[in-house]
Each structure stands twice: as C-alpha cells, then as structure tokens.
Amino acid sequence: MSTQPLMIDASNLDKFYGKFQALKNINFSVAQGERVVICGPSGSGKSTLIRCFNGLENHNAGKLVVDGIEVYEGSPEIRKLRQEVGMVFQQFNLFPHLTVLENLTIGPIRVRKKSKQEAEENARTYLERVHIPEQADKYPSQLSGGQQQRVAIARSLCMETRIMLFDEPTSALDPEMINEVLEVMVDLAESGGMTMVCVTHEMGFARKVADKMVFMDEGEIIETAPPERFFTAPETERCQEFLQQILVH
C-alpha cells in the first residue's frame, strides 16, 4: 500500500465548535484503494473528521488534502472535490420528492452533465449492484430503511467517485436490515479500486474489509493498527475498554 499515492492526507487538524474542541491535532492518511474503518465512542469526533474530508465541516487549523485538492473553508474547488468524494449518511438523506431513479440520476445529469439516457442506464446498473433494480420508480418513503440506504449508496456510486465516505451507514437501521447494507459494502470493498473511509461500529464488517483500523476518543486519534493487531492486541487501555464493551454483546 505504501507505494500508492495518498488520497487523503490530513496533518495537524484542529476543529472547534465555539470553545469545544472536536478534533485535536489529527494526523491521518489514506492511500489510494485503501479501506479504513474509524471507530470510537460517540462524541469522539469520528463523524466530524469524516465530514471534513468533503468539506461539509471545515477544520480550523492544520492542512487537509483530498485527492490532490486542498480543502479549506470557502475553497473554490470544493465542488470539484465533492464530485470525486461520495458520501453515505447515517440518515440516508435521499431526496423524498424524487423517485429512486431520479435520486440516482440528478447528480450525473445536473453536475456531471451526462445525458438523461446515459445516466439512467448507469443508474439501473448500480441499482442491480445494490440488489434493488425493481424499486427504480418508487419514492424513497415507500422503501424500507435498508433499501433506502442501498439507494443512497447507489446514488454515490452513480457519481463514479474515487473515494467513498460512510458516516455510520447502519446506525439508523433496524437490526434485521443491517446485514443487507453491510453485504453491499463488503461487495464494494472486495471489488477493489475504491478508496473507502467508514465510520462504523460494525466490527464484523471492519474485520472483514479494513486494511487499517483507527480508534478515536475525545477528538484524538488514539490508535491506528491493522485489523489483526487491532482486534487481538490493542495497545492502549482506552481502546481495549472500548473493544471489550462493544464486542461483549
């Protein structure tokens, strides 16, 4: 992996909400094609960090380069960057007034300026890939949570981005729907080529696909390790405690 160029390169990132410091001196990098899972207790800054990567949040200090573009508040290149960085949200954030197919094609048509026909063909391919080709003409509210999240993943795929960010993609789902979404994500990860950064508590998924595990607590990166070592022999006490708590159940 070390020979691959860096897709995300963050150095000394700080982020404040008023006086509260959400990110403390974050140094973090992801190589092209690398799959990174970030975990940690709630309020540890995982989501804030991942949202910085496509400029939904802006860091206050430090330097962040994503896909060769420097990210900072008010950067004129932020839209160009977002076209290369897909994001899947905890709450799906599908567009409720558009059908599934329109949700998938609006980006390619309006942002990438593809023809409607090309965009729709592409969208149907990706709907197959997330196993819901038959739902193309429904509205998001007519789908289950798991299906909605798969549509959201397909929406990001349709933009054919080089990086995919997942912000707790299964946290808002009913337990019986978590697996169908994870399966799609594993399939994506194993097909290779895609750089993935995933905030999740699904440790089974992490073990299966992650090249690198990152543990955060109170705005800091406490531990970075390959999954074998991370799960069997975590170095720090906080990480050990956290793993015990979530793996016991």
Partner 1 sequence: MSQTAAKYVPPKTPVLSRFFSSIPVSVLIYLVVVGAIILSAYNGAQAMGYNWQWYQVPKYFYTMTDDGFQWGEIAIGLVKTVEISTLAFLLAVVLGLVVALLRLSGLLVGGALAVVFLEIVRNTPLLVLLYLFYYVLGPIFDLDRYVASILCLGVYHGAMVSEIFRAGINAVPVGQWEGAKSIGMSNSQVYRFIILPQSIRFMLPPLTGEAVNMIKSSAIVSVIAVAELTTIGRNIISDTYMSFEIWFTIAAVYLVVTLILSIGISFVERRYAVS
C-alpha to C-alpha distance for 59 and 78, rounded to whole angstroms: 14
Closest contact distance (angstroms) between CB of 119 and partner 1 is 12
Host H or E run for residue 12: strand 6-17
Residue 32 contacts partner 1 per CB under 8 A: no
Closest contact distance (angstroms) between CB of 130 and partner 1 is 16
Residue 82 contacts partner 1 per CB under 8 A: yes
Part of the chain binding partner 1 (CB under 8 A), chosen from 1-9, 19-27, 107-115, 120-128: 107-115
C-alpha to C-alpha distance for 231 and 218, rounded to whole angstroms: 20
Residue 86 contacts partner 1 per CB under 8 A: yes
Nearer to partner 1, 50 or 222 (CB): 50
Residue 64, SS3 per DSSP:
strand
Residue 240 contacts partner 1 per CB under 8 A: no
Report how many residues bind partner 1 under the rule CB under 8 A.
28
C-alpha to C-alpha distance for 32 and 34, rounded to whole angstroms: 5
Closest contact distance (angstroms) between CB of 85 and partner 1 is 8
Host H or E run for residue 208: helix 203-209
Residue (of 59, 86, 82, 51) closest to 69 by Cα position = 82
Listed in sequence order, the residues at least 6 apart from 24 whose beta carbon sits closer than 8 Å to its beta carbon are: 14, 45, 218, 219, 220
Closest contact distance (angstroms) between CB of 44 and partner 1 is 20
| Binding to partner 1, residues 127-166 (CB under 8 A) | 139, 141, 152, 155-156, 159
Sites of contact with partner 1 (CB under 8 A): 54, 56, 79-80, 82-83, 85-87, 89, 91-97, 106-107, 110-112, 139, 141, 152, 155-156, 159
